[in-house]
A and B are shown apart, each in its own frame.
Chain A
């Protein structure tokens, strides 16, 4: 998948503080990726649908918060994974919740991974960077 040109990461997150921390993680990481941010699930689906309609390149990775205003992250996840054209995009749940129910429901809806945001800042930065490295670099994904 790493084809030289920069891959976009879509972050669906409503908390401006968490958005900023994630931006910092990527800024200081070695991946020079564009981070696109949507503040809620509707905005995220609108973006994905618009790109689909215009046949534009989709994000290489979606980082999805669960606790979003309006429809929740689980709904967004289910919609992405129910759509043949979108379901190949890796979706990683990135949330402060470590509740077993959230973990289970996310995997039941075919989340590619579930990550609880580490509280410690060094661990947080490391987790975000390794997510980027893993999904955009290490794994082999189907060419879209």
Chain B
């Protein structure tokens, strides 16, 4: 609503108020927009913690494919490719798995540097757990920031370079931990990132798609 009235103010009185007033309106619109984004992201974060656990059999391959389809506009815009290897079927909250892949793939496509983003998804079977990864070949993360990227509100770049509220990876961490898993990142500056997360492997008999 703030942006709406600010827009009206600019439209109806923009010419009469002067350049400085236009600038102020610009700051106000930008601030209101960012606040809206922040509230949306915080709601998502808080829902991960408060929603009842809704565990079901989830094919992560299907989840990741539908996330890829959701992101098709971004994919076309950036010329991104998503290569998806076989992903397992796990016992998890389907919506949260979607949110997790959405955030990780979204990040992989966002922090891509010069070249069009290239994202690889895969899984390895470990000792009673699945180790899943989302790999990109983007700008990477310096070693000293590898842990605090998961802290809520931490951002590594200015808003002009890479806008965002700094909540996405905190959401990922919360989702993974609610599923008794761990999340971490392997990365070097300029060498891309591989985000790893684990999920319990409850289906002893395989469960690949």
Contacts and interface: CB of A to CB of B under 8 A. Distances in A.
Nearest to B161: A69
A70 B148 CA distance: 9
B156 A70 contact: yes
Contacts of A72: 154
A90 B31 CA distance: 30
A16 B27 contact: yes
Contact of A69 (B23, B31, B158): B158
Contacts, number: 25
A14 B158 contact: yes
Interface in A1-60: 14-17, 20, 39-40
A111 B142 CA distance: 27
A70 B145 contact: yes
Output the residue of A20, A39, A67, A70 with the most chain B CB within 10 A: A70
B124 interface: no
Interface residues of A, number: 12
B159 A15 contact: yes
A70 B144 CA distance: 10
Contact of A20 (B27, B144, B155, B159): B27
Nearest to B159: A14
A39 B145 CA distance: 18
A39 B159 CA distance: 10
A72 B145 CA distance: 11
Contacts of A71: 144
B26 to A, nearest CB: 9
Contacts of B154: 72
9 contacts: A14-B159, A17-B30, A39-B158, A69-B156, A69-B157, A69-B159, A70-B155, A70-B157, A72-B154
The 7 closest A-B pairs by CB, nearest first: A17-B27, A69-B155, A17-B31, A70-B156, A69-B158, A69-B157, A39-B158
